[in-house]
Structure 1
């Protein structure tokens, strides 16, 4: 006799006691019963936030040919499990609400009930460590002195904040070079003192702003992994370049030829030789030899292109979302900095194609400042600032925005503790562009154009309609106007040597630049170093001017 109990998210059919009785009755009297186990993707679990005002794809797995019915918010839809054991259907859009709903998924022999579902705004957050860093991590320590008040703020937020309608689900770190994973282990958690420590700091403060301005539930789908390059997050379908095709072909061959038993045998043999070498080196007074490493299947390598997409992003697609926020760029290939803009395009294009939910917004971050501030302009390449400029150029992608962070980083710590302003600045784009709250300024000044007028250059900016100011940012305090010279701009002439320019605000959206030794300027830069402490141009909304460099200077 074979009995397979089907999965229940909630024992809603009968009471727990009665269910046990039924189980034992079945166990005693059934001759041969196999219940088909219907499953639903993990992202649909107790406490989920579903996207309002959009059709809702619902999916899972079951026995081929079986009928599945999903009931939610007064509607029901049916579908049939396909030959591969997959099922998917789409529910009609539901209005945003704090009302807790239940979703019932049932087949002939299975019934799953998911409780405490609310409908609001869902944002996919992804990237490397500065998106991954949790409130717990941000409240512990930092490498720089003078940030005690920020650490305390993070600690208080973690230990005191409570909002049952701000929720997160975190996808565990899984890399897969070839296989696209279907599901993951995780659960939705509401913001409470017990749960806050696990929330992405950047995404938390982003979501908190949405909660305050929209008065709706907000859900965060957290897919982050520290220290990873952008290539790992891009769908495999986007890698059309020969270099990436060659790499994926190589990995495919390695996976197919990988023999775990042989790898283990070779490792054991190497360990025997290693132990013998230790003894021999000890007698001769030589240093300890390098310990051998057992080879592993390449699919476990999170540095492989598309490996994080396959292992972590794919399992949450096509969950209905409003948009995505992205913070990455610290880890990159130093030999391919110029390719970063193209990779960002591939990431966004690939995500939109896979989700099939239109041209949804993607808001990303320019890199924060890091390291000591330089007294003289850079004359050599610097990958950090060049990546920042590549990110700015990525704004040519439709329905995107960029949070500028070069005034809230730290000298020694690549993980600045101020994620409050990161979240706030990302949220400005969402509130203005996505939710059409027009009185919120989405961005600081963005370079528009530069025109040469004699020996001077006039730089034009977007997002400066309210006017430009010289300002200073201090920890979590708002930017304040200061009586200082405008600085941070550079000019270069025909010789290609960059020099700090004399700068003056001449109109609400214009800055005049000059240098006594440059007669014919041919290039303009701003905040062009890893820690541009002298860059102090803001708009009156208190938002910093983005890092930029251009040699496109028109003549007037």
Structure 2
């Protein structure tokens, strides 16, 4: 009996070995197999490619190897360079359209082959075409859906999200989908941004993730970008680790939520932002690549006895505001009304939605969607008053926002706090105001010839809570000063 069973056991063992060998060559070529080195790690099962633009694909192979990439009826070939690197571009392709947001779409197959080396073929499955954004920064961007559950919106449980065509790439997880099984590892800002985008566009959305808590902007700037950095901050370290491996991947734009680690830089943050943006746009070969910034929320408590304000994070917010005003295709979403005493505002949902508003209006031409809240545009003096003009100020109003609830208008006559006016001697006074159409009229009985106005231009105007300026869409006005940028830098 033993003699009869032994050949059968050998046969089973042989079948297992053959199946294992086959699985290492067909499918996603797991780390540890030779085929894992043919393509860069970001190319894998469940990836999302950017629609409407050439699709870059790259990896490594023996020098001179003939590389062939097949995807969606397109085949492109190239040869590996002397150092073994190779890169090519697939032609632009239209997005997959979704019939409904909980749809499990049937993706495409990406096949990459080489005529040399131990890694001859990789096959990746379920790849979609849609919109791709990079989410980067520090802890407020890095915060995951599974974190801080007690303070999340009970009426919007992100852990139960069922949007399989909303996907995120992290180097440690690969591509995952926004389903109850995997969504806990998503960035909360990223997933709420992507959800809003998908709801409006009905196409797959891919989020590339590269964010690390407690990091300074210097660590994210390309090492050769020319910014003055201190060696103790390991210049470029996070760029090399998290951005360089995915640099050049086809995408629509970048979300940037950082600045807490550089809050003391104040106005100097402006130049560092410029170095970051210019450097990243260079590696993506696109000097108009959309770059959307989150303007920092408040922290701690401001001194209500100091009408000059300008304390704490006022200056870095102004630097972020000026980046939006002065740089091409840079957007801004403010978190000024949802901060608190701590560093991490629990409400990331509204931040993601506000970023999506800007993107939908400016980058997807959805003109019926408001881009943002009121943006200071200019002013004029009328007798003893300053009349402030805004963009995006339809239905200008005072309102209060309670956690995740929509903004509620306050009774007429409620004073607007954290608004000050300067006299010609340079003294600041808490001001009175009234809304006149889409303008704000600001004055003080002791100031007959006003020089400047500041609004919410302080570390944390969230204490006492509101009200704030909003437009009719419930989007808050950005903090502002009527002083020129050049005068602030003098």
Q: Pick the TM interval, shorter chain.
A: 0.7 to 0.9
* Alignment counterpart, residue 143 of structure 2, candidates 130, 133, 145: 133
Q: Deviations over 1:425-453 (max 9, x none)?
A: 00001111111111100110111112222
Inter-partner Cα distance in structure 1 for 2:483 and 2:62 = 62
Per the alignment, residue 28 of structure 2 pairs with none
CA radius of gyration, larger in: 1
Residues 517-536 of structure 1: matches in 2 within 5 Å?
A: 517-533=446-462, 534-536=466-468
SS, match of residue 430 in structure 1: helix
Q: Deviations over 1:15-38 (max 9, x none)?
A: 976466899xxxxxxxxxxx8985
Per the alignment, residue 164 of structure 1 pairs with 164
Equivalent residues of 2:308, 2:420 under 8 A apart: no
Per the alignment, residue 225 of structure 2 pairs with 238
* Alignment counterpart, residue 469 of structure 1, candidates 380, 397, 409: 397
Per the alignment, residue 447 of structure 1 pairs with 376
Q: By how many angstroms is 1:108 displaced?
A: 1.6
Inter-partner Cα distance in structure 2 for 1:63 and 1:153 = 54
Residues 81-480 of structure 1: matches in 2 within 5 Å?
A: 81-97=80-96, 98-109=105-116, 110-140=120-150, 147=151, 150=152, 152-153=154-155, 156-158=157-159, 160-171=160-171, 185-239=172-226, 241=227, 243-244=228-229, 247=230, 303-332=233-262, 334=264, 336-379=265-308, 381-395=310-324, 396-411=326-341, 413-464=342-393, 466-480=394-408
Tell me, which stretches of 5 or more residues in structure 2 are unaligned?
1-14, 24-33, 97-104, 486-490
Inter-partner Cα distance in structure 2 for 1:320 and 1:551 = 40
Inter-partner Cα distance in structure 2 for 1:331 and 1:22 = 49
- Normalised to the residue count of structure 2, the TM-score between the two structures is 0.86
Inter-partner Cα distance in structure 2 for 1:374 and 1:380 = 8
Q: 1:476 to 1:48 in 2, by over 3 A?
A: same
Inter-partner Cα distance in structure 1 for 2:401 and 2:207 = 28
Q: 1:216 to 1:20 in 2, by over 3 A?
A: closer
Inter-partner Cα distance in structure 2 for 1:187 and 1:433 = 30
Q: CA RMSD in A?
A: 2.2
Q: Deviations over 1:436-495 (max 9, x none)?
A: 11110011011111222232111111111x231111111111112111233432111133
Per the alignment, residue 281 of structure 1 pairs with none
Inter-partner Cα distance in structure 2 for 1:535 and 1:497 = 25
Inter-partner Cα distance in structure 1 for 2:198 and 2:36 = 38
Inter-partner Cα distance in structure 1 for 2:331 and 2:22 = 57
Per the alignment, residue 179 of structure 1 pairs with none
Inter-partner Cα distance in structure 1 for 2:155 and 2:87 = 44
Inter-partner Cα distance in structure 2 for 1:409 and 1:337 = 18
- Normalised to the residue count of structure 1, the TM-score between the two structures is 0.76
Inter-partner Cα distance in structure 1 for 2:22 and 2:425 = 87
Per the alignment, residue 432 of structure 2 pairs with 502
Give the number of aligned pairs.
444
Q: By how many angstroms is 1:380 displaced?
A: 6.6
Q: Deviations over 1:395-434 (max 9, x none)?
A: 12111211111111223x2111111100000000111111
Q: Deviations over 1:339-381 (max 9, x none)?
A: 1111112211111111114512111111112223532235475
SS, match of residue 67 in structure 2: strand
Inter-partner Cα distance in structure 1 for 2:181 and 2:372 = 34
Equivalent residues of 1:488, 1:535 under 8 A apart: no
Q: 1:191 to 1:37 in 2, by over 3 A?
A: closer
Q: 1:398 to 1:36 in 2, by over 3 A?
A: closer
Equivalent residues of 1:38, 1:106 under 8 A apart: no
Q: By how many angstroms is 1:308 displaced?
A: 1.0
Inter-partner Cα distance in structure 2 for 1:54 and 1:207 = 19
Tell me, which stretches of 5 or more residues in structure 1 are unaligned?
1-14, 24-34, 141-146, 172-184, 252-300
SS, match of residue 136 in structure 1: coil
Inter-partner Cα distance in structure 2 for 1:37 and 1:346 = 34
Equivalent residues of 1:527, 1:535 under 8 A apart: no
1:513 aligns with 2:442: yes
Q: 1:165 to 1:528 in 2, by over 3 A?
A: same
Equivalent residues of 2:312, 2:458 under 8 A apart: no
Per the alignment, residue 56 of structure 1 pairs with 55
